Amino acid sequence: MHHFLIIVPDMSILFEATGIADILSQANRVLESAGDEPAYSYELVSCDDNHIVRGRSGLTVLAENTLEELGTDNQYDTLLVTSRGSGSAQQDRVADWLRQAAPNAKRIVSICGGAFLLAKAGLLDGRKATTHWQRLDKLQQAYPRVDVQRGPIYVQDGHIWSSAGISAGFDLILAIIEQDCGTAIARQVAQNFVMYLRRPGGQMQFSEAILPSDEDGGLIADLERWIQEDLSRDLSVEALANKAAMSPRNFSRVFTREAGMPPARFVEEQRLAAARVMLEQSALNIDVIAQKTGFGNGLNLRRVFERRLQLAPTDYRARFGSLHLA
C-alpha cells in the first residue's frame, strides 16, 4: 500500500490536493474492479497549528493532520507538497519539516510551486526539477544548485518527482500510478477521468512536444512513446509492426488490446493533437504543421480536421489560437 501524505500549505489552489486524492481513489476502484487490492491511501496535512487549510478561492478544507502532529522520524511512503504556501514563516516551517522527514521517505513529490519548498529544504540540490513556467527563472536564481528543467511538465530524478503548473500534477500522478500499478491500470484511470495517460503531441510546458517517460511500461507502451517522439516518420501499421518485430496482423491485435484502439487510430489521435497544439500556440504555416505532424501536406491536415472536428485548420486557429498570435 502506497500512502500519500498530501501537504497543503495555506492559500493553495485546493483543486491540486483534492484532484490528486480523487485520482488515487479512482486507481483503487479500478484495481478493485480487476480483482486486485487497493494500492493507495492518503491524508491531507495542513502546515499551520490547526486543521483548516484556506484556499486562494476562499474555500477551505479540513486536513486530517498538521505537520506539528506528525513526527519527522516516521517512515513515509510518499510525501507530496502541493504549492509554495504563503509567507516566509510557513515556508521555513514546511521546508524544515521536509528536510528532517525526507531521509525516511521512499518518494518525494512537488506540484507547481511546491518545488520551491523542496529546494529550500535542500532536497533538489544537484537534481533535475521543474515548476510552473512563469517561475522557472526565479527557481533557478534562488537555488542555483538545482538543475531546472524548462520543458517537461513533470520530471523524475531518482525518488524525487516535480511537476509544472497545477494540472500537470495530474499527469505526474498518472505517471506514478503507471510506475506502481502498470500501464493498463493507469490508462483506465485516465480514461475514466477523460484524461490523456500521456498528452499526445507533447508534454512540453506551454508549447512544444513532450519527451515520453523513460519508465519501462512494456512493448506497446514503449512503442507509443516511440510514436510520440517523431510523428513525421513512417507510422504505418507495417512500419510499426516491423518496429515491434511482429506480423502486421498479430501486431494490430496486440496493440488494439493494450492501447484500447487500433494502431492507425492511435497514430491519427497523436498527430491531430499535436497539430492542434501547434495551431493554438504557434504561427507556423499550415503546410509546415502538416509536415511536422506526419500529415504530409495541408490538404491531408484539412481533411482530418474537417472529419474529426468539423473545422478547417485555419478556422480552428482563429477560434482557439493564442491571443498574441492574432
| DSSP letter string, 256-282 | HHHHSS-HHHHHHHHHHHHHHHHHHH-
User: Which pLDDT value is given to residue 199?
Assistant: 62
Considering only CA atoms, which of 172, 177, 167, 98 is closest in space to residue 132?
167
Taking CA 135 as the corner, what is the angle to CA 129 and CA 139, rounded to the nearest 5 degrees? 50
DSSP letter string, 85-134: -SSHHHHHHHHHHHHHHGGGEEEEEE-TTHHHHHHHTTTTTTSEE---GG
User: Which pLDDT value is given to residue 198?
Assistant: 67
Considering only CA atoms, which of 193, 271, 157 is closest in space to residue 25?
193
Where are the domains positioned within the chain?
2-183, 203-325
Dist CA 193 CA 310 (whole Å): 24
Class of domain 203-325: mainly alpha
Considering only CA atoms, which of 294, 311, 302, 320 is closest in space to residue 201?
294
26 DSSP assignment: H
Q: For residue 262, give every residue at least 6 positions away whose Cβ sits within 8 Å of its Cβ, in sequence order, or none.
A: 252, 255, 256
Dist CA 67 CA 8 (whole Å): 10
163-175 b/e (C-beta count within 10 Å ≥ 16 → b): bbbbebbbbbbbb
Dist CA 189 CA 211 (whole Å): 21
Strand partners, 156: 161
User: Which pLDDT value is given to residue 109?
Assistant: 98
Does 203-325 match 2-183 at the fold level? no
Strand partners, 52: 62
Query: What kind of architecture, by CATH, is found in domain 2-183?
Result: 3-Layer(aba) Sandwich (3.40)
**What are the backbone dihedrals phi and psi of residue 55, each rounded to the nearest 5 degrees, phi first?**
-95, 165
Residues of the chain with confidence (pLDDT) below 50: 200-216, 323-326
> Do 202 and 277 touch, CB atoms closer than 8 A?
yes
If residue 106 lies in a helix (H) or strand (E), which one and from where to where? strand 105-110
